[in-house]
Amino acid sequence: MMTIFQQTPKTSSRPALALLLAMVLVPALHAQDAPASQQPGSPSQADPNAGPATDNGTIILKKKKESDQPPAPVAPVEPKVKNPNNETFSIRVDVPIVNLDVNVILDKTHQFVPGLKNGNFQVLEDGVPQQVTSVRIAQTPITAVMLLEFAANSYYYIRDMQNASAGFYRTLRPDDYVAVITYDLRTRILTDFTNDKGLVSQSLQSLTIPGFSDTNMFDALYETLDRISRIEGRKYIILIGTGRDTFSKLTLDKILAKVKATPNVTIFTIGTGALINEIADSRGAMGGIQRLDTLQAQNQMQTFARMTGGLSFNPLFQGALPDIFAQINDSIRNEYVLTYRPTNNHNDGSYRKVKVTLVDQEGKPLQMQDEKHKPLKYSVIARDGYNAKQSVE
C-alpha cells in the first residue's frame, strides 16, 4: 500500500510537499469554521444513533443594549380572596322607608281638609315619635274590587247591594279600573279588572237568582286580598254585604291577620239590610241572639275598614248612597302621603302599631275653625299599623 510518505525523486519534492500541506491545513480550517454542533466531541458526533446532522440555518442576532428597548410593563397583581366552598357573598344594606296614606276629613261635611304641612302631622310608631320627612297630596286613578254578598237570605239585602254597587261604579272615571266578585258559599269572579262601565253594568245585571244562603265572608275576603296582593300600587276593596259569616274555613283572627299582612290595600264597607233590621228590632221581632249577630256583623265590617284606613257605612235609605260614594271618592282621590324613616330599622317582620294625629306649631292638638270661628271636628283616617320587612338569610 502506498502512503504519502513514500520517497519520490528530489525533483518532485516541493510539489509533493505543497500537496501534503494543503491536505492537512484545509480540513483544519473547515473544522474551525464549523458550528459547535459539528465539532468533534459534540453530541451529534458522539452519539451515532442521533441521526444525520442537518443545517438548520441558525441566525445569530446581535444582542441589543438595555437602553435600546424599554422594559415591559408589569401587570398589577390581583388580590386573592379565599371563599369557602367557592361561595360568593354580597352585602346589602336596606334603609326602611314607610309611606303612610292619611286622610283628614271634616266630621260634619266629610270634606277633605287641604293645606296641611309636615309639622302638622305627628306619627307615633309603637309609641315612639317619628320624623316625617315629606308630605304630599296624591290624586291618582283607582284600582278597586267590588266584593258583593249575593246570597239567598233576604230580598232586601240583595236590593241594597245592587243599589250600592250600581251607585259606586257610576262614579268611576275613564282611567279607573274595577273588578266585580260575588260570594255566598263560594266566590265568583263576574268580571276582571276593566274600565268599561258597560261591562260592569252587564255583570251586575246578571245577578238574578242566588245559589246558596250561606255567606262565607271571611273566605271571600281572604281570596280577594290574596289576588290583589299581586297587583302593584294602591288597591281598594268596596265590601258590600251584611257582614255575617256562616261556614268560612277561616276564623276572625286569621282574616284579621291577613288584613294586617296585606300592604297597600284600603277597605271600604257598606252594610246592607240596615232598614229592615231597624224595623224588625223596633217591632220586637229580633231576638237577643239575632241582635247580637247583627251587631257583631257590623262591628266586623267597621274593623276591616278601620284597620286599613278606610270608611264604614251602614245607610238606612238609598238616598244616602250618593253622599257615601262622594265621601269614598274624596277619600280615595285626595289623600296625604306621609314618608318617614322608622327609628326601629330592624327587618324582623314584626307588626308596628301606628297612630297619626294633627298638631300645631307648639305641638298641641290642632284646632280647626270655620269662617265664623266655630270649632270644627275632624277625623284622621290611616292604617293602624304595618308589617316590617322580613330579612332574607
User: Residue 72: what pLDDT?
Assistant: 59
Q: Residue 285: is its pLDDT beyond 80?
A: no
Can you give the pTM of this predicted structure?
0.62
Q: Is the pLDDT of residue 8 over 50?
A: no
Taking only the tens place, the pLDDT of each residue in 134-189 is 999 887 789 999 999 999 888 889 999 999 999 998 888 899 999 999 999 999 99
DSSP 366-389: P-EE-TT--EE-EEEEE-SEEEPP
Going along the chain from its start, the domains and CATH numbers come out as 95-139+334-393 (no CATH), 140-330 (3.40.50.410)
276 pLDDT tier (thresholds 50, 70, 90): confident
- Residue 258, judged by CB atoms within 10 A of its CB (0-12, 13-18, 19+), counts as middle
User: Angle CA(111)–CA(114)–CA(117) in degrees, nearest 5?
Assistant: 145
Report helix angle 252-261 to 217-228, nearest 10: 20
pLDDT, tens only, 318-367: 889 988 998 888 778 888 999 999 999 888 888 999 999 999 999 999 99
Helix (H) or strand (E) holding 125: strand 121-125
For 87-118, the pLDDT digits (tens) are: 555 545 456 889 998 989 888 776 788 889 98
Q: What is the pLDDT of residues 196-221, one digit of tens each?
A: 999 999 999 998 888 888 899 999 99
Q: Which residue has the higher pLDDT, 55 or 298?
A: 298
Helix (H) or strand (E) holding 313: strand 312-313
Closest CA to 121 of 356, 344, 322: 356
Mean predicted confidence (pLDDT) in 52-70 = 49
Mean pLDDT of the region 59-74 = 53
Q: Please give the Cα distance from 287 to 264 (Å, whole number).
A: 40
Q: Can you give the pLDDT at residue 212?
A: 86
CA distance 230 to 264: 11
Provide the grid cell at 235.
288597591
Note the pLDDT of residue 286: 73
Which residue blocks in 178-273 are alpha helix, DSSP H? Answer: 197-205, 217-228, 252-261
Q: Which residue is listed with cell 232586601? A: 156
Q: Is the pLDDT confidence value at 58 over 80?
A: no
